[in-house]
Structure 1
């Protein structure tokens, strides 16, 4: 087979591309890209010299005609044989020309195609996540049946990293949000002539919603991204493949410790967030209504039952489990390079926030139906 060659000659009036050798389906991509770049980037009249071409096939001819059509090129063929002329002419005659109506239809077709692809991708990702959740629950059940399989060291490490180290920002956020919401509620209820009601309303809101929900949002932003980045880095550095080669199960070593860690630590964090949210509310009530701490606590014990506290605590492990599973799932999706880590980290945070809101809404419906 003759060696493929390509050279370009430019002058002030014309650009001529000299082809040589065999141009067919076996032509390497480098030569094809070089030819495509030369054709589409030329601002002068174009000519292609076929004097040294020994053979072209149907695949290359389609490639060439497709470039002419896509970039609306008018190319002169120089020293072209009758055989090559017939091949290119036949293919050109069978390629339909795009008219305005066809382009408009194609434009709308592309829109619907993109929507369809997005729906299909969303559906497939949802199925993949539920499959991942099922595998996680299976290994979670195995660890409950066989507690010796729990990796204590990673579990304690993730409790510290994802729980205790997130405590300062978590309780500060709960304190600020608790104070702000209570202040707004107290102002509105004071204008209605029932200032004392603000104590029980804001306290119930802090225990049922603000404490666990605000805390979960903070942990989602911190821990979901962390889990995705950690596991994603292991994917890129092929540590995951090494684990599989040594017959270690990634779910047992990477996913379960993280899920268990957040499910264990979240109730404790919610308890502390509740305390600081209520404390922020006490300060806001003191500032806006002039009600002292003793009167606040007395009213609190009279009107707020333990049920509201346990409602928030019950949601905490579910929030923790969802955050950990989303973070790990997106970490396993990382492929290729470090750019993928950044993309999946962002996606994991958004997904974790969605699942927190969704779970919170489900519990709200359940408590409403039960009349709690």
Structure 2
């Protein structure tokens, strides 16, 4: 092996410069041993190095890829000299191709950043347009509501009653169960903590106030939003795809008066009623939790609830309900009118409408919390 190494590779000193002399053929048939020895010499050498190809008979693309990849990977300072015309042609093709690849990679990286900036810009514009459309949609709802007030004959009472039942009372079973479970869990955890602090009876007013202000109204509204926002979007979206909306306009029926206004008013009217029922079951869940944890009887719980919890806590939850109902119905209907083309659009916008409705519920809840805290309510 030593003889082979000396035959094909030789390191010499040319004054201050080091020269690595290559001999023989360096192509795809070159042994792994020779390539390893070449790699070792290149990596072990410090500083500039000349590679002399005067004794090299044949160089192909495979060796060129091996050499230039090594130079690029380890940032080697190498100068090629005494390269024959054929060998220089092969090495030049490889070098040009690698440089072209580097340019393409840099262009792709630049396009990637451009794409990220473009997507960010599009999302900002879409968000801005969504807010504009929402305000415009709210204005149209208000306009047609006032128009119906001054012209009661145009008011659609049958769809209103239908949606009060469909979007309101039919959601009661799952809402009541959810509110009861959450009220029970929160009251149980609160009772455990207050019991450790030596104030177990305070869990009554804590859980009751929390149930009336947040748990009952908020959990109920989340359930209604998941059900109603998606159904409104899907119903109106399907009507748009099947051209039922165009048929309504042709027959002289305004889609806003027949589709949007009944849905909005239905949730605005029915949600406070549902919140009242949800409050009762949230308190009931807390009552069972405290009975289980503290062994406090139901009459004692009710007496302490009456003494420590005022009507203002109940009204806080009731006041928020119509605004939540308006937001849910507005988002669901608005997204339904945005459906275009195919059923894929319905699925996408149905998902978006639920997410938007949940966002507005949380946002409005935060706004009301700030307002009520400033008013000491």
TM-score, with length taken from structure 2? 0.71
Q: Which moved more, 1:98-107 or 1:124-133?
A: 98-107
Q: 2:168 aligns with which of 163, 177, 181?
A: 163
Structure 2 unaligned blocks of 5 or more: 1-101
The aligned residue for residue 70 of structure 2 is none
Matches within 5 A, 1:274-353: 274-353=279-358
The aligned residue for residue 75 of structure 1 is none
Q: 2:128 aligns with which of 112, 123, 126?
A: 123
Matched, 1:153 2:161: no
Q: 1:173 aligns with which of 171, 178, 181?
A: 178
SS of corresponding position for 1:194:
coil
Cα deviation per residue 1:98-140 (whole Å; 9 max; x = unaligned)? 6544433222112111111111112112211211111112112
Matched, 1:359 2:361: no
The aligned residue for residue 184 of structure 1 is 189
Aligned equivalents of 1:98, 1:150: Cα separation in 2: 67
Residue 265 of structure 1 and its aligned partner are, at CA, apart by 0.6
SS of corresponding position for 1:163:
helix
Matched, 1:249 2:245: no
Residue 260 of structure 1 and its aligned partner are, at CA, apart by 0.5
Residue 283 of structure 1 and its aligned partner are, at CA, apart by 0.2
> CA 1:334 to 1:184, structure 2 compared with 1: closer, same or farther past 3 Å?
same
Q: Which moved more, 1:300-309 or 1:111-120?
A: 111-120
The aligned residue for residue 216 of structure 1 is 221
Cα deviation per residue 1:39-58 (whole Å; 9 max; x = unaligned)? xxxxxxxxxxxxxxxxxxxx
Q: Which moved more, 1:238-247 or 1:221-230?
A: 238-247
TM-score, with length taken from structure 1? 0.72
The aligned residue for residue 112 of structure 1 is 117
Aligned residues: 276
The aligned residue for residue 205 of structure 2 is 200
Q: 1:232 aligns with which of 232, 237, 241?
A: 237
Aligned equivalents of 2:211, 2:185: Cα separation in 1: 11
Cα deviation per residue 1:70-90 (whole Å; 9 max; x = unaligned)? xxxxxxxxxxxxxxxxxxxxx
Matched, 1:269 2:277: no
Aligned equivalents of 1:178, 1:243: Cα separation in 2: 45
Aligned equivalents of 1:99, 1:335: Cα separation in 2: 38
SS of corresponding position for 2:347:
helix
RMSD: 1.3
Residue 246 of structure 1 and its aligned partner are, at CA, apart by 2.0
Aligned equivalents of 1:260, 1:117: Cα separation in 2: 34
Runs of 4+, deviation exceeding 4 Å: 97-100
Residue 298 of structure 1 and its aligned partner are, at CA, apart by 0.5
Matches within 5 A, 1:17-166: 99-166=104-171
Aligned equivalents of 1:101, 1:187: Cα separation in 2: 60
SS of corresponding position for 2:240:
helix
Aligned equivalents of 1:360, 1:214: Cα separation in 2: 12
SS of corresponding position for 2:341:
coil
SS of corresponding position for 2:252:
coil
The aligned residue for residue 79 of structure 1 is none
The aligned residue for residue 371 of structure 1 is 376
Aligned equivalents of 1:278, 1:254: Cα separation in 2: 36
